[in-house]
Structures are given as C-alpha cells and as structure tokens.
Amino acid sequence: MRIDELFNQRKPVISFEIFPPKKVDGIETLYDTLHELGDVQADFVSVTYGAGSSDNFNRTLEISKYVQDTFKVPALHHLTCAERSITEMDDIFAQLQEAGIENILALRGDVTAKQLELTDYEYAKDLIAAVSANGNFSTGAACYPEGHVSQLKECEDMKHLRQKANAGANFFISQLFFNNDHFYRLQEDAFANHIEKPISAGIMPILSQKQVARMTFMCGSSLPAKLVKLVHQYGEKPSDLQAAGIEYALEQARDLIEQGVDGVHIYAMNRSDVIQQIIPDLVNFTGEFA
C-alpha cells in the first residue's frame, strides 16, 4: 500500500524505523527481533540505507521485501542518491518495482565534494523529482525541526521544504527532536508557507548516555532541561535510564497525538523491547482520538 494513501485514510499514522545490520548474519537476528513483536501493529516500517555500495541497497531491499511479505505491512525503502547516475537509478527503480516496493524515502545522503562530482543528483530534491516522475512510488522526504546539522539556522529552511514538496514529495518524516515546540514551529511555518503535505514527527527514546552524546552531535538536536536532568539522574543506572527515556518518548508522542499531528515515527534502533513498549501504547492511545 502507498503511504500517501495511509495519510489520507487515518491520522495519526504510526510507524517505526529499523536498519540493516553491518554483518550479513545479523539480518537473521533482525528478523528474529521482528518476529518477537508478533503482530506488527505499526502502519508502516521504514528501512534505512547507506550511501554507496550495492550491498547496502541489496540489504535494504531484502529487509523491506521481508517486512512486506511476512507481516503484510508497507515498507518505506530509504534511498540515497550519492554517486548514482540516472542509468543506475533507473535500474534501482526497476528492482524496487519488481520486488513490490511502493514507497521510497528519497535522501541525498552524506557525501564529500568529490562524491558530488560522481552523481547526477546533487540534492535530495533532484532524487525526489526522479522518484516522482517514475510514477510507481509514493515519495517521502526528510525535514528538520531544528534545521539541518550542516546549517547554522535553528529551524527548517522553508525554501528547501517547498522545493522538496514541489519536486513531488508526498509526505515528510522529521529528524528526531526532544522538544515538541520545535516540531510545532515547523508545522506552523509549513502551513504559513502553503506546504500542505503530511509531516510525521520523528521520536527517538534515550537509552544511554553514549547514545545522547552521539545523536545530539550527529543530528544537532538540542536537549531540554528536563531530559538533561533525567540523563544525569539515571546515568549510572542503565536500566533506569532506559525506562525513563522510553517514558519521556511516550510523553512526547502522546502530546503530539493530542495536538493532532499527521504521524508519529519511532526511531527504534532495532530494539524489540523499545518497539514492544512504545508502538502498542501509541496505537491504543491513538484509538482514543479516532
């Protein structure tokens, strides 16, 4: 099923993200993790993808197809355009279509100046346009409540968001954030700029001090005082910090649902315990607002 149709049918759409393990034999472990969930209650599952080698594409495609075939849930196949030519991308589109994949999250990916010389797609909007022109896919794109980490701006540049929407993006999924006010500002700015595509809010539960340092550096997401205090309070007690981090994420998500967001997207880090604690809660909570 196309994810843009899901957004037309219900609100909010609940989803989570998984990623291909670095080792090939780790894929079976990931499948075991998904089977631990029993009935996957999410509306769709997104599968990440790294720039560059064909192995990354093959693993993402394998996992996406497995999710759809086994759990009958739409997969959102991530796709980056770094170092890709038009001919290569056309071949990728054909493989995705043959595998029954209907949904692509179109991203540029992190690239060097040298890599940009090797691609026919300089920006994410260029790949979005190519996916949209193909006509066989529902096209997702990324957005950034606190601005992209490579920019000094503290909020999403509406010019870039409009370019992605005009290129054919059917929906957006936000970068992770820990303060809902950042997401509400993004929504208001998009509305004021007549960008009317659904925007799903990206939430990542804090599970360890190391994770906090890594993700805030990589994504440029700020930590509100309440969350900083939780990390300090439970930093030496990993199980307590995980419980507090999951509850904080649930509080974020419940507030977003109460405010009528289009969707909530959980960055689950391949953790079945995270998915099991968060997704059913959100599905049940969503039912109260149906």
Output 212 or 91, whichever has higher pLDDT. 91
The pLDDT of residue 52: 46
Question: Is residue 287's pLDDT more than 80?
Answer: no
Upstream peptide bond of 198 is cis (omega within 30 degrees of 0):
no
- Output DSSP code: residue 138: E
- pLDDT recorded at residue 150: 73
Segment 231-244 mean pLDDT: 91
- Is the model's pLDDT at 162 over the cut of 90? yes
pLDDT > 90 fraction of the chain, expressed in percent and rounded: 69
- Helices in 1-137 by DSSP H: which ranges? 3-9, 26-36, 54-71, 86-98, 113-116, 124-134
The whole-angstrom separation of Cα 254 and Cα 252 is: 6
What per-residue confidence (pLDDT) applies to 204? 96
Q: For residues 157 and 252, which has the higher predicted lDDT (pLDDT)?
A: 252
Contact by Cβ (8 Å): 228, 37: no
pLDDT-based confidence at 290, cuts 50/70/90?
low
Q: Provide the phi-psi class of 72: left if phi over 0, else alpha when psi is between -120 and 50, else beta.
A: left
The average pLDDT across 149-156 equals 72
Q: What is the structure's pLDDT at 236?
A: 85
**What is the predicted pLDDT for the residue at 51?**
47
Q: Is the pLDDT of residue 201 over 60?
A: yes
Model pLDDT, residue 74: 97
Distance CA 83, CA 116 (A): 7
Predicted local distance difference test score (pLDDT) of residue 75: 98
**Looking at residue 128, what is its pLDDT?**
97
% residues pLDDT > 70 (the chain) = 93
Confidence of residue 289 (pLDDT cuts 50, 70, 90): low
Evaluate if residue 144 carries a pLDDT over 50: yes
- The SS3 call for residue 63 is helix
Query: Mean pLDDT for the chain?
Result: 90
Specify the DSSP class assigned to residue 220.
-
The sign of the torsion formed by the CA atoms of 7, 171, 143, 243 equals positive
What would the pLDDT profile of 168-182 be if each residue is shown by its tens digit? 999 999 999 999 999
DSSP, collapsed to helix, strand or coil, labels residue 103 as strand
CB neighbour class for 280 (10 Å; exposed up to 12, middle 13-18, buried from 19): middle
Check residue 213 and give its pLDDT: 81
What residues pair up with 202 in beta bridges, in sequence order?
265
How high is the pLDDT of residue 108? 86
CA pair distance 128, 169, nearest whole angstrom: 6
Q: Which of 56-60, 78-82, 93-97, 109-113 has the highest mean pLDDT?
A: 93-97
pLDDT at 49: 83
Sequence-separated (6 or more) residues with CB below 8 Å from residue 168: 128, 129, 131, 132, 133, 139
**Which of 17, 83, 102, 156 is an active site residue?**
17
Bigger pLDDT: 237 vs 213:
237
pLDDT at 288: 67
146 as an active site residue: the answer is no
* pLDDT single digits (tens) 256-266: 999 999 999 99
Confidence (pLDDT) at 218: 83
